[in-house]
Amino acid sequence: MYLWMKALHLVAMVTWFAALFYLPRLYVYHALARDRGEQQAMDHFVVMERKLYRGIMTPSMIAVLLFGSVMLVLNPAWLGQGWIHAKLVVVLLLVGYHHACLIYLKQFAESRCRRGHVFFRWFNELPVIGLLLIIFLAVLKPF
């Protein structure tokens, strides 16, 4: 059972991170289209962003949390190890990032987002840090 949960957790994690990397990149292009006054492109980005967030990103996040929780239930001794606490903090930060993406999605959909493409280029880098931390913590179990 554990190996099935681990495999499903990893598949969901890869899918979630793909969306976490791609949605803010769409925001970069959306902000550029807004600055250029390209209404048709902006309308297209709104649809793409919504479908990515609701159809892939959120279900993947839920699956990551579900399968990860099952693995914790199957391995309760992990809760006594520091690496899992650090990993869970990073996961919570990524859930917050996920919800920040929703805020920007709604702002773009309502033509209220005033953040520029440079902001979103930096914003797009944050999940990379989370991914690195999670992988190193889960593989190395440093404490």
Supply 105's token pair. 């999605």
User: How far is CA 122 from each of CA 36, 79, 115, 125, 129, rounded to the nearest angstrom?
Assistant: 20, 33, 11, 5, 12
Supply 118's token pair. 């440079």
44 is in an annotated binding site: no
CA distance 50 to 118: 21
Please name the amino acid found at residue 45.
F
- H or E stretch including 46? helix 39-52
Supply 43's token pair. 């309308």
CA distance 19 to 60: 9
9 is in an annotated binding site: yes
Binding positions: 9, 87
Binding positions for heme: 9, 87
